[in-house]
Amino acid sequence: MSFYGFARGLVKLYYRIVFRVKAEGLENLEPGRNYVVCPNHKSLNDPPLLGTCVKTSLRFMAKEELFENKLFGALISVLGAFPVKRGEGDLAALKAAIKLLKDGENLVIFPEGARSPKEHLHKGKSGAVLIAVKAGVDIVPVGIRGTYKLFSKMTVHFGKPIRLGEYFGKRVDSDTLQDITDNRLMPAISELSGVPTYEDKNCG
């Protein structure tokens, strides 16, 4: 058994017992295809939680500060994470993400860019859509529901893929990428998670 498989098994057991994790909509991860997986971001627990829900491995873009501790950085690297500079156009991370997807990996990107407060989602950033379009893959929105309290119930809802085929191989401007993020991706995450979008909160 690989280290990833061993570590995933331990984490899966822990999360299933402590948070009573339930995954729904796994049929939307179609066999033979790979995706950019885009969840809402409630907690630092989200990446391992997601990793316990699917049988295939997931790769994660993680802020580079998490790799400053060499031991922890080595651990999350083995578990599929790679560093990205937040708030900057990290071309190396962008290229790495696209290559992973073209090699058939599933890549998790939190489009909010940071953990969100309880009452609403952050405004989504367009990077996830850009990477998906450049790699020629669709996006699966995900909603994480529940609270990370001992023996509480966490539910992870995998939504229907957001098809982006009409944009593959084309030059897509930043306004279009943001429009897809604002009007297709974030509303889907909001519906699946039960958390209103930033715009919904402002209108309320």
Instruction: Note whether 36 and 109 are within 8 A (CB).
Output: yes
User: How many C-beta atoms lie closer than 10 Å to residue 160's C-beta?
Assistant: 13
Instruction: Quote the pLDDT of residue 86.
Output: 64
Fold classified for 3-203: Glycerol-3-phosphate (1)-acyltransferase (3.40.1130)
Per-residue DSSP letter, 89: -
Q: Which residue has the higher pLDDT, 116 or 156?
A: 156
Q: Which residue has the higher pLDDT, 71 or 129?
A: 129
Instruction: Quote the pLDDT of residue 88.
Output: 57
Instruction: Note whether 22 and 154 are within 8 A (CB).
Output: yes
Instruction: Quote the pLDDT of residue 16.
Output: 83
Cα separations in angstroms, 54 against 29, 48, 109, 150, 164: 9, 11, 16, 22, 23
Q: Which residues contact 24 (CB under 8 A, 6 or more apart)?
A: 155, 156, 157, 158
Q: Which amino acid is at 88?
A: E
Phi, psi of 67 (to 5 degrees): -95, 0
- Residues 33 and 138: their CA atoms lie apart, in Å, by 9
- Residues 56 and 158: their CA atoms lie apart, in Å, by 14
> CB burial class (10 A; 0-12, 13-18, 19+) of residue 159?
buried
Sequence ranges of the domains in the chain: 3-203
User: Which contiguous run of DSSP H or E holds residue 163?
Assistant: none
Q: Would you say the C-alpha torsion 21, 25, 28, 32 has a positive or negative sign?
A: positive
Q: Which residue has the higher pLDDT, 112 or 56?
A: 112
pLDDT tens digits, 151-178: 889 999 999 999 999 999 999 999 999 9
Q: Which residue has the higher pLDDT, 157 or 119?
A: 157
pLDDT tens digits, 1-34: 666 667 767 877 888 888 889 999 999 999 899 9
Q: What is the mean predicted confidence (pLDDT) over 89-97?
A: 80
